[in-house]
Amino acid sequence: MSRPKGFSREGVLRKAIGVFWKKGYADTSLQDIERATGVNKSGLYAEFRGKDDLFTEGLKFYLEQADTDALLSAQPLGLDNVERFLSLGLRCAYGSPGCLLVNSLREVAVLPPAVETLIRENRRKLRSALARNLEAALPSCDAKELADQVLTFFSGLTIEQNLATDERETRRKIASFMRLLRGQQGAAVDS
Amino acid sequence: MSRPKGFSREGVLRKAIGVFWKKGYADTSLQDIERATGVNKSGLYAEFRGKDDLFTEGLKFYLEQADTDALLSAQPLGLDNVERFLSLGLRCAYGSPGCLLVNSLREVAVLPPAVETLIRENRRKLRSALARNLEAALPSCDAKELADQVLTFFSGLTIEQNLATDERETRRKIASFMRLLRGQQGAAVDS
């Protein structure tokens, strides 16, 4: 019978995400994770292969929690889903601003290769899901091109959250961007 | 007569910028700067107060070189200036992708306070200069609101450069964003 490990994998991942979010990947040590989780190194190694694995599993867990698949496939498809996706940038589920994945873009050069793959795969899926919503709302536009605009705007919005922008300002920016998108409807119909 | 220091301040700043850009602020040590510049610690301390000062002065130098003031006050004011500003995100003057200032947003929480002030001040100036150009081109729109959109799009575009996006893709994104902006002209005239 294996000894009960005395901590939950999910609890460790949540706390590890908080540390990685605050300090970034490169600047986080296993000691930082030990301190934040209260689990010592041998406990962490019983569950994870090390810092790389903790970061990779943390990012996977974070993406599962965000569950953008469900959000972007809610019926009816359309601009409301796009707006709900952008509004994810407002949430600070882990007490930190913005989006852990966008923050991590800064560090792509030093991230474990598995993480870069995860980031690229996530962006590819988001782009397709956004394009389906945009196509439903703006059938005469280039939905993939607009999906790229939404993703880039989301990246900008969330990286700017590090400047502790107030929530109203972020909401104003999202509303203004949605007006630009909705304007496409008229523009496409006119042309 | 003071001993000649054997290195140029500008040369050190250029090389230091390259290191900070690649590794970020937190993860860069004075040893890294020594290695990159070939100037030892006592030489660096003769010119700078330390890592904080090197980063602050490096960022100032970088902003002077980019000279967005000149770019955004070129006559006639208008959307061409805005497009030229966005295209700055394509340049890799220091062999690294994107924009050092946007990359640094990730680290605002640990940056020297002088740098955070510098970043906020730079964004405030950019926003005003962009708004003047947008107002000239789209007099019936809310120029400040659109200036925020341009800044956020620029932040997103440059942070995404860390994924080694190819230049054509970035150019496509800029062209597509400019179409959204130019669409505002028609929209405002129609309404």
B115: chain A residues, CB-CB within 8 Å = none
A155: chain B residues, CB-CB within 8 Å = 155-157, 159-160
Given a cut of 80, whether residue B191 has pLDDT beyond it is no
For the segment B124-138, the average pLDDT, to the nearest whole number, is: 97
A186: chain B residues, CB-CB within 8 Å = 187, 190
A106·B190 Cβ contact <8 A: no
- Who contacts A116 (Cβ-Cβ below 8 Å, separation ≥6)? A108, B163
User: What number is the ipTM of this complex?
Assistant: 0.91
Two tokens, residue A12: 């460790």
In chain B, what are the domain boundaries?
9-58, 67-190
Given a cut of 70, whether residue A190 has pLDDT beyond it is no
* Chosen from A32, A100, A105, A191 to mutate, greatest number of chain B CBs within 10 A: A105
Q: Please, what CATH class does the domain formed by B67-190 belong to?
A: mainly alpha
Chain A nearest-CA distance from B36, in A, is 18
Q: In chain A, whose CA is at the least distance from the CA of B145?
A: A176
In CATH terms, are B9-58 and B67-190 the same topology? no
Helices (H) and strands (E) in chain B, counts: 10, 0
List, for residues B20-71, the tens digit of each pLDDT value. Answer: 988 889 889 999 999 999 999 999 999 999 999 999 999 999 999 888 999 9
Closest partner residue to A156 (CB to CB) among B142, B146, B156 is B156
Give percent above pLDDT 70 in chain B. 93
Distance (Å, whole) CA A109 – CA B160: 12
- Who contacts B170 (Cβ-Cβ below 8 Å, separation ≥6)? B89, B90, B157, B161
* pLDDT confidence of residue B6: 78
A160: chain B residues, CB-CB within 8 Å = 105, 151-152, 155
Chain A nearest-CA distance from B108, in A, is 6
A159·B163 Cβ contact <8 A: no
B106: chain A residues, CB-CB within 8 Å = 24, 103, 106-107, 159, 162
List, for residues B145-180, the tens digit of each pLDDT value. Answer: 999 999 999 999 999 988 877 889 999 999 999 999
List, for residues A103-152, the tens digit of each pLDDT value. Answer: 888 888 888 899 999 999 999 999 999 999 999 999 999 999 999 999 99
The CATH number of B9-58 is: 1.10.10.60
List, for residues A34-70, the tens digit of each pLDDT value. Answer: 999 999 999 999 999 999 999 999 999 999 988 899 9
B186·A184 Cβ contact <8 A: no
DSSP B71: H
Cis ω on the peptide bond leading into residue A4 (within 30° of 0)? no
For the segment B102-112, the average pLDDT, to the nearest whole number, is: 87
Give percent above pLDDT 70 in chain A. 93
